[in-house]
Amino acid sequence: MSGVEVAKYSGFCFGVSRAVKSVYELIHGGAAGSIYTLGDIIHNPTVVSDLEAAGVRSVTPDALPSICDGAREGAEVTVVIRTHGVERGYSEMLARRSAENPYLHVLDCTCPFVAKIHDIVDKNSAEGTVTLIFGDEDHPEVRGIKSCVSGRAYCFTDKKQLEEQIVPLISPEDDVIMVSQTTQNLTEWKNCQNFIGKLYTRAKIFDTICSVTEKRQNETQQLARRVDVMVVLGGKNSSNTNKLYSISREVCPEVYLAENADECRSIPIGKHSKVGITAGASTPDSIIEEVKTIMSEQIKDTVENGQNEAEESFEKLLDETFKTLNTGDVVTGTITQISNTEIKVDLGTKVTGILSYDDVTDEPGVKLDEVFKVGDQVTAYAVRVSDVDGVATLSKRKYDAKNNWQTIVDAYESGEYIEGKFVEAVRGGAICIIKGVRAFVPASHTTVPEGGDMNEIIGKKMPFKIIEVDTGRRRVKASARIPARAAARAERKAAESKFWDEIEEGKEYEGVVRSIQSYGAFVELGAGVDGMVHTTELSWKHIGNPSEVVSVGDKIKVFVKSFDREKKRISLGYKTEATNPWTLFTSNYKVGDVVPVKIVSIMPFGAFAEVLPGADGLIHISQLAAKRVAKPDDVVKVGDTVDVKITDIDYDKKKISLSIRALIEEMPEEEQEEAPVEEAPAEEVPAEEKAEEAPAEE
């Protein structure tokens, strides 16, 4: 049954409602002077615009000093801290300045749930702790939380990032606490809780997702399962709104994100559609009600007009089936067949498009099946249409030439160098193709010495300068004789462009380390393009600085983990499974092997020893000697090298058990007596422990 259903927990939460109401009260109460909010009071353009019209200005924290300095008699200032809160340094500065200046007022609208997280991390973090924050590091709420942390703090957005990038930075001895941004995804938060809880049994994990957020997300998921179309209302830069959108998309086939009612008018609604509406914490009730009305009216209109629309759609489909093309039309179709001499194109009409080899490109020697694939879209001119034969002769070459002509003209006017390719030797010079346009290159403007063979340059790609354009006759003259500096610059640009065309995830490069930062190493991959290897990707063991693994100038083999063409950023990997210490250990060692190890740390329950770099094993206190010892450091010291026997390998948990005692017990009795054993003084061994001691340990 069709209809519209609105989620119960939609719109303003308590914190947002309080903040917005407080600002409007300042306006309508005639607050003296200027009103500023630290960032937009909420992520809703409609509300923000309304406040701006009333004189409320949104500012960034770096503007606070000058705003505070301007507060004086006759020019009072009120600064509003929004629900996200603010970094501790700014809040302390505002408190201090307002106490000193009676004309500066501060209205703190920080959400109580957010303020509670500030208090939690303030009380539970210290210099020796690691605080894990589940949230977007750039979000103002997370920045505020992080500012209250003592010791190290790491932010993450999902379990994968937590496991792969954050955990390697934490040692087993660290005290760990974990909190969440109030608007995070509840399911992912539970996954992260379970993961950290198993890894660090002493970790303090605080449930800090807002209870309203939790209810809103659960209800949204249930509603999205029941409807055909889901509308999510809220600011597109709002964290909690985007979470609702993601949750809806997991279970509903059609989901739309809108900031206001006008954006909802174009949402396609079927006559039998059931529409669900949910809204983020920054969406006023007025917008929700307006959208509900619009959706209801659209369903009603669709039912009434459904029959007419169906008839019109049928007529339209019938018309398209029998429509014809005219010579000179620009058409776009799908390639259905490729041979050595032509390409067949489905144009969605009763005629089939044919692209002959010569109408595809001016460049000789090109293999059509290497440039095009069945299923590709292609646009061309219809140069001849025969309804009788059912064939339309097409020309992609003419279409490209016309559409690229302006590029040639622009290059001529700007003096820009543009890449092309020599394709033919002719009398007095050569022909090159630049952006699909044929250009004549006089012999004196080629790279061939006077009297030389022009055929030597055919097929060669290089940068060209457009030196003459005849728009009327559509003729172009170009030069390949470019100053060395400009040529080098053009070649670098072409090489860089080629690099980005060919890059793909997993591709390996041999690069040179160009610089080292505290968070990673930058590696030049060629063509002037750099990528970054994060510290966690340099080694399987925890390192303090990339310089522990690589140095500037080193040649290293890396692979592409991810990249962003638009931002020109590349994330690289360096460590591989082949260099994984656990892989190396299990490939070369087994239970029963005797190996020399180095003591790297001592704990009350035993000593950790390095079997090979990055692979440590535990010598339990009971396995340090043939008899009971009081403290591990009575027997071994950090830095000692001792022989041990591998007694157990836990492949699932990646743990290695080592024993000195097993080696001693395998010695002849006379050698056992000579083996150095540190015994605890009699008074240090409790009587009850002696009584419980098993004979096998004597």
Active site residue 683: no
Q: Are residues 569 and 664 in the same domain?
A: no
Q: Are residues 460 and 561 in the same domain?
A: no
Q: Domain holding 77: CATH number?
A: 3.40.50.11270
Give the active site residue among 141, 188, 259, 537. 141
What span, in angstroms and rounded, lies between the C-alpha atoms of 129 and 175? 5
Q: Are residues 160 and 245 in the same domain?
A: no
What span, in angstroms and rounded, lies between the C-alpha atoms of 248 and 18? 27
Kindly state whether residue 5 falls inside one of the protein's structural domains.
no
Using alpha carbons, list the distances in angstroms from residue 172 to 169, 395, 542, 642, 656. 10, 68, 11, 23, 15
Q: Are residues 120 and 200 in the same domain?
A: yes
Domain carrying residue 194:
116-209
How confident is the model over 37-60, as a mean pLDDT?
Answer: 83
Q: pLDDT tens digits, residue range 406-423?
A: 888 888 888 888 888 898
Buried b (16+ CB within 10 A) or exposed e, 196-226: beeebeebebeebbbebbbebbebbbebbee
Q: Are residues 630 and 597 in the same domain?
A: yes
Q: How high is the pLDDT of residue 87?
A: 92
Owner of token pair 């917005």: 20
Predicted model pTM = 0.41
Q: Domain holding 166: CATH number?
A: 3.40.1010.20
Using alpha carbons, list the distances in angstroms from residue 324 to 337, 362, 392, 393, 395. 22, 29, 10, 13, 17
**DSSP codes of every residue in 512-525:** EEEEEETTEEEEEE
Burial (CB count <10 Å: 0-12, 13-18, 19+), residue 427: exposed
Q: Are residues 526 and 603 in the same domain?
A: no
Better-scored residue on pLDDT, 3 or 221:
221
Mean per-residue pLDDT over the chain, rounded: 83
Kindly state whether residue 3 falls inside one of the protein's structural domains.
no
Kindly state whether residue 319 falls inside one of the protein's structural domains.
no
Do 662 and 645 touch, CB atoms closer than 8 A? yes
Among 478, 499, 520, identify where a domain stops: 499
Q: How high is the pLDDT of residue 318?
A: 47
Q: How many domains does the chain have?
A: 7
pLDDT at 369 over 70: yes
Q: Are residues 590 and 684 in the same domain?
A: yes
Q: Are residues 598 and 637 in the same domain?
A: yes
Q: Are residues 71 and 136 in the same domain?
A: no
Among 80, 112, 144, identify where a domain stops: 112
Q: Domain holding 690: CATH number?
A: 2.40.50.140
Q: pLDDT tens digits, residue range 133-182?
A: 999 888 889 999 999 999 999 999 999 999 989 998 888 778 999 999 98
Q: How high is the pLDDT of residue 675?
A: 53
Using alpha carbons, list the distances in angstroms from residue 259 to 83, 278, 331, 556. 19, 12, 37, 48
Q: Are residues 37 and 140 in the same domain?
A: no
Q: Are residues 463 and 384 in the same domain?
A: no
Among 576, 592, 615, identify where a domain stops: 576
Kindly state whether residue 71 falls inside one of the protein's structural domains.
yes
Degrees (nearest 5) of the Cα angle 595, 597, 603? Answer: 130
Q: How high is the pLDDT of residue 642?
A: 94
Kindly state whether residue 354 falls inside one of the protein's structural domains.
yes
Kindly state whether residue 7 falls inside one of the protein's structural domains.
no
H helix count then E strand count, the chain: 19, 32
Do 226 and 234 touch, CB atoms closer than 8 A? no
Q: pLDDT tens digits, residue range 214-244?
A: 788 889 999 998 888 999 998 877 777 888 8
3-state helix, strand, coil in the chain (%, to 5): 40, 30, 35
Q: pLDDT tens digits, residue range 605-660?
A: 899 999 988 889 999 999 999 888 889 988 999 999 999 999 999 988 889 999 99
Q: pLDDT tens digits, residue range 17-29?
A: 888 888 888 887 7
175 strand-pairing partners: 129
How confident is the model over 574-595, as a mean pLDDT?
Answer: 87
What span, in angstroms and rounded, lies between the C-alpha atoms of 240 and 182? 9
Q: Are residues 287 and 340 in the same domain?
A: no
Burial (CB count <10 Å: 0-12, 13-18, 19+), residue 344: middle
Kindly state whether residue 309 falls inside one of the protein's structural domains.
no
Q: pLDDT tens digits, residue range 311-360?
A: 455 455 445 444 557 777 888 888 888 888 889 988 877 788 898 888 88
Kindly state whether residue 2 falls inside one of the protein's structural domains.
no
pLDDT above 70 coverage of the chain, percent: 89
